Structures are given as structure tokens and as C-alpha cells.
Amino acid sequence: MALNGVLRPGHIQLRMLDLEEGVAFYRDVLGLEETGRDDQGRVYLKTWDERDHHSVILREADESGMDFIGYKVSSEAVLDQLEKAVQEWGLETRRLPAGELMETGERVRFTIPTGHQFELFATKTLVGNSVGQSNPKPWHPDADRGIAPLRFDHALLYGPNVNDVLDLFTNVLGFWLTEYVTLPDTDVKGALWLSCSNKAHDIAFVEHPNPDRFHHAAFLLESWEKVLRAAQIMAVNDVPVDMGPTQHGITRGGTIYAWDPSGNRFETFQGGTAPYPDWGPVAWTWDGLGEGGGLDVSKRILHESFLTVVT
């Protein structure tokens, strides 16, 4: 499919209770590469196979959670068009200047109905991946340092007004609905998986009474074997695990959910469906979510911590 408009997840800024502890975790255990630090005290990182300067930004704070998430669009003209469309939909936007984030151009930020800070940008310095663009090797010698994901893949966010988010993302930002879960005894969509490509999802939302809650950031691995290797690395480093290794029924992805040292949940994710928009969304009922293995194919249960613990 031709990719235009919103291309992909671009970056996420997370709050660390102890910045250097967080940096050590994301660099040495998760296996990201540190690419810079700015005068605001923020630390920038990327996976070994990403081309953009960074995808993860860490800053120190008194509470954990997510500050904002940004998605890359195909051009500056598209950025202008989407800014206008978001305003016409009814949201206020503001322009953040080029350079406010290291190696990043102007960003358009707005608060979506779930209360999260969401932004779009068109320009970020391309630093390349670790193997280069000409006659590349299949992997980098340091690609096995830590869990070593390929990319920052998606995020799951909790908040109210999920169906307003569905309208905004599908009718304004150009995403499409791949899967959803209806709330108990209703036809109301309470959980959404949305894609701007033909990935299983590029972002997901779950209805929650409190706004601006962060569930997890997901990092893509090549194979189920890499997910099992991630489990071994987590065990060696005493990383607390929430769920997995297992497979989802939703998206069919292989997965482990665990917590970083500040209590932010992260996912190591593999596989998943590769749907197309004309297929239409897969529908799950609340009962089917547990009985059908929507979250956990092997145990066929709804994990209480997965459903309730957010930052």
C-alpha cells in the first residue's frame, strides 16, 4: 500500500524517577543506543535498526508515565494540512519550534480526547542504522547487546472518550481500525487498535475514567526465539514481568510485558497480523477477550494487572 500522510510512530518521551538508572536500563538491558543529551537534561535513544536520530526520550521527574508521543508524517505540506484538519475537527494546536527536540523539525502538538499529548512532525535527522545503506550485513555485531529490538513499534494509551479518538484518528489523521473490543453487555467500542500502515497496529487505546494514562510502549523483535531470549535477559537482570511470554489472540503477536525501573510498562513484541484496510476490523466481545485468548492465548484469562495498572 502507498504510505502517505502519517507514516509511523516517531518518538515517545517517558518520565524516569532516576534518570541515569533509566538510561542504563534502556541502553544496557533493552539494548537501545544513546544518541544525545540536551540542555533540558533529556536523553535520546534509538534502536540499532532505526534510521531517525531517536525514538525514545527520557527525562527525570517525580512521577513515571508518558509526556507525549509523536508520529512522523510524509512532508511539511502534509504537516500543514493535518494541522488545519485537526483544528477544523475542534482541537487547538500549537507549533513547537525546530530544535526544541534534538535533531527534529517543527512539531504540531494537540491534546486528544483521552487527554494525551499527541504530536506530528515531518523532519528529523536521518542518522542511519548500524549496518549502513549500501551492501548492508544482515545485522550489526552489537545488535545482540541487550534485548536489541528493531524499532519502537507502538504504544497503548488509556483514557476517556475513546470513541471520539476513533473519529479523530480515522476521519482526520488517516488511521484505520484493525481490531476492537466492545464493553461488557454493550456494542460500545472500549478498546481500539489503529494502524496508519498495514501493521497490526501503530497505536491502541482503552477506555479509562482517568485521562492521560500510559499503559505501555512496545518494541519489535524479529522472532519468537528473540522474545524467549528477551525473557532470559529479563530474568538475569531481575526485571519484573507483568505477563508472558505468551501470544495474543488480538493481533496474534508474541509478547512479554514488563516494567522499567520507574514502573513504566514496556512490551517486547513479535509478529502480528499484516492486515489491509479493505478487510475490515476484527471484533472482540468482552467475554471473548478472555475465553478466546484475546490477551493470553495459552492461559485464556484476563490478567488483572494488565487491565488496571497504568502510569
Report the alpha-carbon angle 223-225-231, nearest 5. Answer: 115
**Cα separations in angstroms, 194 against 25, 41, 87, 205:** 29, 33, 21, 8
**Cα separations in angstroms, 271 against 121, 133, 251, 268:** 27, 24, 9, 11
Catalytic residue among 21, 119, 154, 222: 154
Told to judge if 216 belongs to the known catalytic residues of this protein, a careful annotator would answer yes
d(CA 53, CA 257): 26
Told to judge if 267 belongs to the known catalytic residues of this protein, a careful annotator would answer yes
Catalytic residue among 33, 50, 119, 267: 267
Catalytic residue among 201, 207, 208, 215: 201
What is the torsion angle, in degrees rounded to the nearest 10, for the CA atoms of residue 264, residue 301, residue 222 and residue 237?
50
Question: Environment class of residue 163 by beta-carbon count within 10 Å: exposed (0-12), middle (13-18) or buried (19+)?
Answer: middle
- Contact status, residue 93 vs residue 110, Cβ threshold 8 Å: yes
Told to judge if 53 belongs to the known catalytic residues of this protein, a careful annotator would answer no
d(CA 219, CA 123): 22
Told to judge if 100 belongs to the known catalytic residues of this protein, a careful annotator would answer no
Catalytic residue among 54, 208, 215, 216: 216
- Contact status, residue 171 vs residue 274, Cβ threshold 8 Å: no
Reduced DSSP (H G I as helix, E B as strand, rest coil) percent helix, strand, coil of the chain, to 5: 20, 35, 45
Which one, of 269, 237, 238, lies nearest residue 256 by Cα? 269
Told to judge if 248 belongs to the known catalytic residues of this protein, a careful annotator would answer yes
**Residues carrying an active site annotation:** 154, 201, 216, 248, 257, 267
